């Protein structure tokens, strides 16, 4: 739950500004995780398979705060947004997933590291697009 504490440092204005797109991407991520769980794309090492105990913390626990931080740091500069997402998704898909495998937490089963990177990364464009539409409608309404 520590990543949720980082939301406190976003500030009220930014939290309010990016929260709708953050919630949207977390819901979309949960749906993606359910699909990946059904397809056996990864394996959690504990005995009982539990979406709530195993996969949900990966979906919500770190994804929302990191998404909001990247939006805060780079919104308005699409190149910077893409670079930050490539770096964060690449670190997770190619390095951190192997660390988790060594600690017998999770391993990739039916997809490789490149496919997992694509699985993580394509949602960044969706997140930016949703935030762009929200910003556009707010300017139109006001």
Angle between helices 63-74 and 12-38 (to 10 degrees): 130
Tell me the pLDDT of the chain (142 aa) as tens digits.
444 444 445 566 677 888 888 889 889 988 998 899 889 998 888 767 777 777 778 777 777 788 888 988 999 999 999 999 999 999 999 999 999 999 998 899 999 999 999 999 999 999 999 999 999 998 887 6
pLDDT value for 117:
95
Grouping H, G, I as helix, E, B as strand and the rest as coil, residue 46 is: coil
> Would you say the C-alpha torsion 55, 60, 65, 68 has a positive or negative sign?
positive
For residue 113, the Cα-to-chain-centroid distance in whole angstroms is 16
DSSP tag of 104? T
Q: How many CB atoms lie within 10 A of CB 107?
A: 14
Dmax over CA atoms of the chain, in Å, equals: 53
Q: CB–CB of 119/32 below 8 Å?
A: yes
DSSP tag of 7? G
Model-level pTM?
A: 0.84
């Amino acid at each position: 739950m520590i990543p949720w504490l980082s939301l406190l440092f976003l500030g009220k204005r930014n939290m309010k500004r990016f929260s709708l797109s953050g919630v949207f991407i977390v819901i979309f991520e949960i749906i993606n995780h359910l699909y990946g769980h059904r397809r056996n794309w990864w394996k959690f090492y504990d005995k009982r398979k539990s979406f709530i105990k195993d996969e949900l913390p990966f979906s919500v626990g770190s994804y929302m705060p990191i998404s909001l931080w990247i939006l805060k740091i780079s919104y308005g500069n699409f190149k910077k947004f893409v670079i930050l997402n490539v770096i964060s998704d690449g670190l997770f898909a190619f390095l951190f997933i192997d660390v988790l495998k060594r600690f017998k937490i999770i391993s990739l089963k039916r997809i490789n590291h490149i496919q997992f990177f694509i699985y993580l990364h394509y949602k960044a464009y969706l997140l930016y697009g949703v935030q762009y539409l929200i910003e556009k409608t707010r300017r139109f309404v006001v």
